[in-house]
Structure 1
Amino acid sequence: MGFLDVIKENSGWIKDITTVIFTGTATVLALLTYKRAKATVLQPKRTEVTKKQTKILSDFLTVIAENNNSIDSALDYVNLLNYNVDLVLREYGLLEIPADSEKYQEY
């Protein structure tokens, strides 16, 4: 029995195994290519978002500077923290603040 006879007898499962290996390799390659292409295509969008965020922050800092305040004295960090904590606790149902209450409207 020669080498060619062995290949002829087992050609069905050899073909199946090579097809699985080829398909798996092609799938992994396609996924990696898609991931890289998605990052490249969305890059200009991220740049525009960064530009807009920078503009908004610049405008905010200009308003604070016009009032001769520093950002530390212009923002009330303690109340901002308290408001955010209260809103998160309300969201998780750990704090009862009715939506029509004056405190909720202030938040």
Structure 2
Amino acid sequence: MIVDFLKSNSTWIKDVFSIIFTGSATIVAILTYIRAKEKFLQPIRTEVIKKQTEILTEILEVFSKHEFSLDRALDYVNVAQINALNILFEYGFIN
């Protein structure tokens, strides 16, 4: 009974499995391409990070030469107060 069913329907069963295989291979190829494209741009990100590190080093050298502390320059209390007021305003607790 099963053998007769397979013999009479073998062509469309083969076609269905071919479509499934081709579709899954296409999806894997697309995902691999997207992943490879991300990895291809990785050296550019590395160069950007190197440049940002150089700029940050220069900024910190300028601050240290003039005996200027970045921690003392930032007013953390007022920054926190302003952030708290913004949140209270966004949620409608104050007008």
TM-score past 0.5 threshold: yes
What is the RMSD of the two structures over their aligned residues, measured on CA atoms? 3.0
What TM-score, normalized to structure 1?
0.60
3-state secondary structure, aligned to 1:69? coil
In 1: Cα distance, 2:5 partner to 2:31 partner? 37
How many Å apart are 1:65 and its aligned residue?
Answer: 0.8
Q: 1 or 2 for the larger relative contact order (CA 8 Å, sep ≥6)?
A: 1
Tell me what 2:16 maps to. Answer: 17
8 Å CA contact 1:64–1:71 kept in 2: the answer is yes
Q: 1:86 to 1:20 in 2, by over 3 A?
A: farther
Structural mapping, 1:1-107, within 5 Å: 3=3, 6-82=5-81
Gaps in structure 2 of 5+ consecutive residues: none
What TM-score, normalized to structure 2?
0.65
Gaps in structure 1 of 5+ consecutive residues: 97-107
**Could you report, residue by residue, the CA deviation over 1:35-60 in whole angstroms, capped at 9, with x for unpaired residues?**
32022211111111101211221122
Q: Which runs of 4+ in 1 moved over 2 A?
A: 5-8, 74-90
User: Amino acid of the residue matched to residue 27 of structure 1?
Assistant: T
In 1: Cα distance, 2:53 partner to 2:87 partner? 27
Give the structure with the larger helix fraction: 2
